[in-house]
Structure 1
Amino acid sequence: MSSPSPAAPAAPAAPAALAGPPGPARRLPAVVRLAALPTVLAAICGAVLLAPAEDPEPPLEPGHPQGRAAGHCDALMAALQAVSVRGYGPAPDSRPDRYVLAWQSSPRTVLRCGVDRPASLESLENRRKPSPAVSGVVWYDEPDGRGGHRLTTTRRGVYVEVTVPAGAHPSPLDPLADLSPRVRAWIPDLAGDTGVDDEPPLPGEDATG
């Protein structure tokens, strides 16, 4: 009785197809997928263009000077009422508060008196940065967060802030040529001195004080 012949080896299995769900992109021909790209890109660009642009105009929130500082701010704001900044007069609707004034550059240039000390001056590195001095007034320069500059007086008894938006003037320091002499005259330095020989009395004070 002959022994059974050994079983023939099984044929190798055909290689399985690459795993992956048959999604719509796999079912579409390459030509169709490429043709859809311009539509997708156009939709993305349209969404970006329709997004609201950031307002370049500086905020008009007022400062809050107290005591004698408020008197100095009152005197400064009164002195600035008829002052033009690089040829631009004060904007007629720019005074939501007595300590805020804007000029009709585009975007507008805004001065606020009696603001808080800039938070970025907590940094020793920022305090050591060179600061521009115009007509005897030193200004701390920092970005305004909108592409422009925010300049704040230092070494004075009251913080005065001037915001110069991007595009308002050829140089962010240009408005300081008109504003610094008034700031020096009405906002005393840390020694209590101003830039005038005979300082006029503050509003409400007796000249013979």
Structure 2
Amino acid sequence: MIVVARPAVLLTAGLLATALLTTVAGCSSTVRVEPPRPTGDAAAACRALDAALPRTVDGLDRVATEPPSPYVAVWGEGEIALRCGVDRPATMAPTAEVSDINGVGWFQDPRVPTLFTAVNRVAYVEVTVSRAHAPGDVLVDLATPIKAKVPEG
């Protein structure tokens, strides 16, 4: 079930596939995202990544999430969402094509073309990009902190 309170927000199918998102009314937008539950090295890398993420991605400011989590970051009103420490993508076969963007390998889910996952790291980092944004621009913005804070695995 998806609940949208004031202000209304249009969410893409990719964001819906990633997590349950809800905009909560208030002075500033808060987006509801179910955080993953990484452990060990993955959890430590995700916490380090959270502190290194940019305040702005592709012209959108980072907004608060509910519940607050070091494993989730959202920019705009749910237009770009990052979840660190997710499971390996179920649709990623051993022979799947992975695109390298600034030293980070990205798998694009063939079923959800707005969903990208950074792979070959101690933690999988999932990024959902609304169709209003160029995925390449977003992934370039996020590659540097991912490469710096989430070691190859």
Q: TM-score scaled by structure 2?
A: 0.73
Higher relative contact order (CA 8 A, sep 6+): 2
- Give the alignment of 1:100-119 within 5 angstroms: 100-104=72-76, 108-119=79-90
Q: Cα gap change, 1:87/1:108 in structure 2, threshold over 3 Å: closer, same or farther?
A: same
Q: Larger Rg: 1 or 2? A: 1
Aligned pair partner of 1:174 in 128, 137, 152: 137
The reply on whether 1:158 has 2:130 as its aligned counterpart is: no
Whose helix proportion is higher, 1 or 2?
1
Contact 2:108 2:116 in 1 (8 A): yes
Q: Which of 121, 127, 135 lines up with 2:102 in the alignment?
A: 135
CA distance in 2, matches of 1:179, 1:55: 21
> Cα offset for 1:102?
0.3
Gaps of 5+ in 1: 1-53, 191-209
Supply the distance in 2 between the matched residues of 1:134 and 1:173 (Cα, whole angstroms): 8
**Residues 73, 83 of structure 2: 8 Å contact kept:** yes
Q: TM-score, normalised by structure 1?
A: 0.55
| Cα distance in 1 between the residues matched to 2:95 and 2:141 | 26
Tell me, in whole angstroms, the C-alpha distance in 1 between the residues paired with 2:111 and 2:46: 22
The alpha carbon displacement at 1:63 in A equals 1.2
Aligned residue-pair number? 126
Percent identical pairs in the alignment equals 37
Distance 1:95 1:181, change over 3 A: farther
Structure 2: give runs of 5+ residues left out of the alignment: 1-9, 20-32
Q: Tell me how far 1:61 sits from its aligned partner.
A: 1.5
CA deviations 1:163-190 (Å, max 9, x no partner) are 11222x0x22220111000000000012
Task: Give me the CA root mean square deviation.
Answer: 2.1
Which amino acid in 1 is paired with 2:144?
A: P
Q: Which amino acid aligns with 1:56?
A: T
Structure 1 residue 131 displacement after superposition = 2.0
